[in-house]
Amino acid sequence: MSTTLVTGIAELVTNDPTHPDGDGSPLGVIEHAAVVTEGDRIAWVGRAQDAPDADERDDLDGRALVPAFVDSHSHLVFAGDRSAEFAARMTGTPYDGGGIAVSMAATRAASDDELRALVGRRVAEMRAQGTGVVEIKSGYGLSVADEARALRIAREFTDETTFLGAHVVPPEFRSDDASRASYVALVCGEMLQACAPHARWIDVFCEPHSEFAFTADESGQILTAGKEAGLELRVHGNQLGAGPGVQLAARLGAASVDHCTYLTDEDIASLAGSSTVATLLPGVEFSTRSPYPDARRLLDAGVTVALASDCNPGTCYSSSMPFAIAVAVRDMGMTPAQALHAATAGAAQSLRRDDIGVLRPGARAELTVLDAPSYLHLAYRPGVPIARRIDLG
């Protein structure tokens, strides 16, 4: 297997606090560093002066190198857009999840090839901005065939696929309580059977503040059925108001609870005593004019925090992790170091992966170079496309 020596790294973020050449911080920063890759893996990390030889060389000429961003929350399988809904929100219309049915109709009407091309374009957009592994959810099909199709297409782009049949109750099941209950039964039964072979995760939009989303009881039933079918758990929780999602996620051992826009002290205590990561999605508060959560409350309590894009047609049509980092620093009380850690190692932990989000021998060679001497520039230069993945070998 061919080896490549990456040199000229002014500042290397390893996320390995134990590296002897690192600064001892959680980011494990090494100055004047080098990395050697072998095939798709990291083979060596350290100071440039100590670097071994390799078959190829790549000189970064004084740039910073960081682990590729891990985008642990996205909804890329959709057709159409909801720019008019966004414009209405900017003049005061609140978000309530009702627009999901609009994207559902457009997605059902699209052909497989159209959807595949749309997802491909969005994944390429992410990679061009420094993202490596991306998680992709279904959730705009909301029928057995359309959910399974969304996951089959998502699987062509990532192993981190998530079944989100419980995104909202689709319009054809909203007439009364019995009809709604029959949708929950469908999600737990036939839809789960059809989708589980194409998914690693199951997710649910648990939100009492939306009439379209799912209660704690319904969410618990759906997540439990998913677990029995061999899927691991994620939850959309506490997005529109304080609610049961965070504590349900912690109680059921979900890998992650995402949004966490509104958190009580009890929510934070339940996360602190669990292995559930709190995934914050700054682009959502930005694009819905919701208040930003205070990430410091979580970090001070010892909760692991992740950042992700939530790229979707409703609450945040941004695929940019640098944008999420910049907003988290500007408006959520994170330091640039905490935000980068959350967008890499934190997000990897939310996917229960130890082979990404870190640069150490044996990890995947998922590298992002910055057209800047330091990772500080990610938040310092918002909107400037300084991050891109490097593809070696």
Question: Would you tell me which residues interact with Fe ion (CB under 5 A)?
Answer: 310
**Distance in angstroms (rounded) separating the CA atoms of residues 117 and 138:** 16
Q: Is the distance from CB of 379 to CB of 93 less than 8 angstroms? A: no
**Distance in angstroms (rounded) separating the CA atoms of residues 306 and 350:** 7
**Residue nearest ligand NIG, Cβ-based:** 314
315 annotated as belonging to a binding site for a ligand: yes
Total chain residues near ligand NIG (CB under 6 A): 13
Segment lying near ligand NIG (by CB under 6 A), choices 9-17, 99-107, 141-149, 360-368: 99-107
Q: Does 350 bind ligand NIG (CB under 6 A)?
A: no
**Distance in angstroms (rounded) separating the CA atoms of residues 336 and 340:** 6
Angle, CA of 298, 304 and 308, to the nearest 5°: 95
| Whole-number Cα distances in Å, 71 to 136, 279, 376 | 9, 10, 19
Q: Does 357 bind ligand NIG (CB under 6 A)?
A: no
Residue 29 binds which of Fe ion, ligand NIG, none (CB < 5-8 A, kind-dependent): none
Nearer to ligand NIG by C-beta: 242 or 337? Answer: 242
Nearer to ligand NIG by C-beta: 15 or 312? Answer: 312
**Distance in angstroms (rounded) separating the CA atoms of residues 87 and 51:** 53
Residue 243 binds which of Fe ion, ligand NIG, none (CB < 5-8 A, kind-dependent): none
Please give the full DSSP string across 246-277, using - where no structure is assigned: HHHHHHHT-SEEEE--S--HHHHHHHHTSS-E
CB of 164 to Fe ion, least distance (A): 8
**Distance in angstroms (rounded) separating the CA atoms of residues 263 and 331:** 16
* DSSP state letter for 364: B
**Distance in angstroms (rounded) separating the CA atoms of residues 357 and 362:** 12
Residue 205 binds which of Fe ion, ligand NIG, none (CB < 5-8 A, kind-dependent): ligand NIG
CB of 47 to Fe ion, least distance (A): 41
**Distance in angstroms (rounded) separating the CA atoms of residues 325 and 147:** 31
Nearer to ligand NIG by C-beta: 110 or 358? Answer: 110
Nearer to ligand NIG by C-beta: 17 or 220? Answer: 220
Q: Does 162 bind ligand NIG (CB under 6 A)?
A: no
Task: Give the DSSP H/E element, type plus range, for residue 123.
Answer: helix 112-128
CB of 236 to Fe ion, least distance (A): 5
**Distance in angstroms (rounded) separating the CA atoms of residues 375 and 382:** 12
**The one among 312, 318, 319, 338 contacting ligand NIG by CB under 6 A:** 312
**Distance in angstroms (rounded) separating the CA atoms of residues 192 and 223:** 10
**Residue nearest Fe ion, Cβ-based:** 310
**The one among 86, 205, 262, 286 contacting ligand NIG by CB under 6 A:** 205
Amino acid at 353: R
The first and second tokens of residue 36, run together, are 């050697």
Q: Does 239 bind ligand NIG (CB under 6 A)?
A: yes
Phi, psi of 256 (to 5 degrees): -155, 145
Residue 279 binds which of Fe ion, ligand NIG, none (CB < 5-8 A, kind-dependent): none
Q: Does 276 bind ligand NIG (CB under 6 A)?
A: no
310 annotated as belonging to a binding site for a ligand: yes
**The one among 314, 333, 336, 346 contacting ligand NIG by CB under 6 A:** 314
Please list, in sequence order, all residues whose beta carbon lies within 8 angstroms of the beta carbon of residue 179, skipping any fewer than 6 positions away: 173
Residue 239 binds which of ligand NIG, Fe ion, none (CB < 5-8 A, kind-dependent): ligand NIG
The first and second tokens of residue 117, run together, are 């091309």
CA-based R_g, the chain, Å: 21
Q: Does 236 bind ligand NIG (CB under 6 A)?
A: yes
Nearer to ligand NIG by C-beta: 38 or 310? Answer: 310
CB of 242 to Fe ion, least distance (A): 18
Segment lying near ligand NIG (by CB under 6 A), choices 118-126, 194-202, 293-301, 307-315: 307-315
314 annotated as belonging to a binding site for a ligand: yes
| Whole-number Cα distances in Å, 237 to 131, 165, 208, 246 | 24, 16, 10, 6
Q: Does 100 bind ligand NIG (CB under 6 A)?
A: yes
Angle, CA of 343, 59 and 71, to the nearest 5°: 15
Which positions make up the binding site? Answer: 73, 75, 82, 140, 167, 236, 239, 310, 312, 314-315
Chain contacts with ligand NIG (rule: CB under 6 A): 97, 99-100, 103, 205, 236, 239, 284, 310, 312-315
